[in-house]
Amino acid sequence: MTTEAVLVVGAALFGIGVFGALSQQSFVMLMMGIELMINGSLLVLVAMWARAAGGSPDGQMLAIVFMTVMAVEMSLGFALITGVYRVRRADITEKLRKLKG
């Protein structure tokens, strides 16, 4: 697969993620859109690293570290969403007017 094809796929993932994050009101769909944006940018990062470094595995290791951080971030995000739902019974962003109180 050529670098240009990988860049197109990464841009498509990022674009779908932006659309998903901006058009949805559900917290879960919002986080899925953010996850797609991060995955698209990570794919482009790895493709550029492979092109610049000549196939060095350092970029792949950096991608694995980023994926680990993303997994921790998403688990914390879902824990916060679950906490908000239990307290406020709000499952979409429109139901939350303010977060304190």
Please report, in tens digits, the pLDDT of each residue of the chain (101 residues total): 788 999 999 999 999 999 998 998 888 888 889 999 999 999 898 888 888 877 777 778 888 888 898 889 889 988 888 887 888 777 676 666 666 55
**CB burial class (10 A; 0-12, 13-18, 19+) of residue 6?**
middle
Which domains are delineated in the chain? 3-95 (1.10.287.3510)
| Residue 94 pLDDT | 64
Q: Are 21 and 51 in contact (CB under 8 A)?
A: no
Q: Are 40 and 11 in contact (CB under 8 A)?
A: yes
Helices (H), 24-57: 27-53
Distance CA 55, CA 57 (A): 6
| Residue 95 pLDDT | 66
Q: Are 46 and 7 in contact (CB under 8 A)?
A: no
pTM of the model: 0.77
